[in-house]
Amino acid sequence: MNAVHHITPLGKFKWLLKREYWENRGGFLWAPLIAGGVSLLLSLMALIAGLWAASKAAKNGDLHINGVNVNGLDLQMLTSQMSPDDLAKWGEGMNFTLLLSAGWPFIVLGFVVFFYCLGALYDDRRDRSVLFWKSMPLSDTQTVLSKLTSALLVAPLLATLAAIVTMLCFMVMISIVVLAHGGNPVTLIWGPGNPLSMAAGFICRIPVYALWALPTAGWLMLCSAWAKSKPFLWAVMLPVFAGVIVSWFGLMKVFGLNASWFWGHVVSRLLLGTVPGIDLAYNANEIDGQRIQSMAGSFAPEVLFASVTRPELWIGAAVGAVFIVAAIWLRQRRDEI
């Protein structure tokens, strides 16, 4: 007699996550990787153009370092003329360049998560596949939470890995250029920069991103479960119209606040939470501005701590949780558009 294997709730949830990944692999995986590839291609073109311009300037005698005319493009000689302060600025510039090279997958992530949440529950009703999934031994709670987990954890994790790979490939690319022009990549690229610290910071920011994006994801999934058509218009126009009305009639003055508070803490939290790093805009007034402007400092423990201890994060997360509960309730009662 064959033994009957019962699938546990955790096993069902894992299969639901796999389903979401396979159905949305293009947005979750390939979009960040393609964005990273485009970033590398543009960086390569910029390097070639920059090297050509520097070589031309050196041959024409227009390249000067500390008043000394340089006749050839020798990076070792050029960097020997740099002061300790110049080297420190070089390291910060390197970190900034690394962040730019890794930024494209994160930009794509903001759009992917936004539109994924917006269509997560609406698309099932539009093509009536929701009827099939409801016939399976799966609860609506499991289905909605699997979509939420995919949006706030799986997609950011894949985008983060794509960003790290892009950043390391960029460093290898410029290291080859440095070697080709007499420089030492260890002292000029890998030493001044902080690629490992930045990679660790990217990973540590995933739970911070999930919490800050929860109200936006919850709102979009609520609209996805509720709207009979055009969920994008409902999701965007309702907060925007609310902001216009509040600004027009000065309603926030009743609470001793201005309309900009409503736009920054209500409208933007409902619509912009999927943008990676949005929490830094709220931390800027409480953390040393120079620390935030430092690329490595943006991933420092105190910056992450400031993000997770802000009341706005937890209030928004609580509101997002309410939206998710409402989305589950609506999914239980709406099978078709």
Q: For residue range 54-110, list pLDDT tens digits in order.
A: 666 656 655 554 444 444 555 555 565 566 676 667 777 788 888 888 999 999 999
164 against 138, higher pLDDT: 164
Tracing tokens 């460093």 back to the chain, one arrives at: 171
* Predicted TM-score of the model (pTM): 0.86
Q: Would you state the structure tokens that stand for residue 209, as one six-digit string? A: 């991103």
Distance from the Cα of residue 11 to its chain's centroid: 29
Residue 236 within any structural domain of the chain = yes
Q: Quick one: pLDDT band at residue 34, thresholds 50, 70, 90?
A: very high
Q: What is the predicted pLDDT for the residue at 335?
A: 61
Q: Which has the minimum average pLDDT: 122-126, 172-176, 212-216?
A: 122-126
How does 51-61 read in b/e, with b if 16+ C-beta sit within 10 Å? eeebeeebeee
Is 64:81 a contact under the CB 8 Å cutoff? no
Residue 95 within any structural domain of the chain = yes
Q: For residue range 141-166, list pLDDT tens digits in order.
A: 989 999 999 999 999 999 999 999 99
79 against 7, higher pLDDT: 7
Residue 6 within any structural domain of the chain = no
Q: For residue range 192-233, list pLDDT tens digits in order.
A: 778 888 898 899 899 999 999 999 999 999 999 999 889 999
Number of domains in the chain: 1
Q: For residue range 246-276, list pLDDT tens digits in order.
A: 999 888 888 888 888 999 999 999 999 999 9
How large is the average pLDDT for residues 296-309?
A: 68
Q: Which of 300, 50, 90, 72 is nearest to 187 (CA)?
A: 90
The whole-angstrom separation of Cα 133 and Cα 144 is: 12
Whether the pLDDT of residue 314 is over 60: the answer is: yes
- Provide the domain limits for residue 78: 12-333
How does 322-331 read in b/e, with b if 16+ C-beta sit within 10 Å? ebbebbbebb
Q: How many CA atoms lie within 13 A of 171 on its CB side?
A: 26
Q: What is the predicted pLDDT for the residue at 85?
A: 72
Residue 4 within any structural domain of the chain = no
Q: What is the predicted pLDDT for the residue at 209?
A: 94
Q: What is the predicted pLDDT for the residue at 58?
A: 58
How large is the average pLDDT for residues 27-52?
A: 91
Provide the 8-state DSSP code for 188: I
Residue 68 within any structural domain of the chain = yes
Is 58:70 a contact under the CB 8 Å cutoff? yes
Residue 3 within any structural domain of the chain = no
Bridge partners of 68?
Answer: 65
Mean pLDDT, the chain, whole residue set:
82
127 against 336, higher pLDDT: 127
50 against 148, higher pLDDT: 148
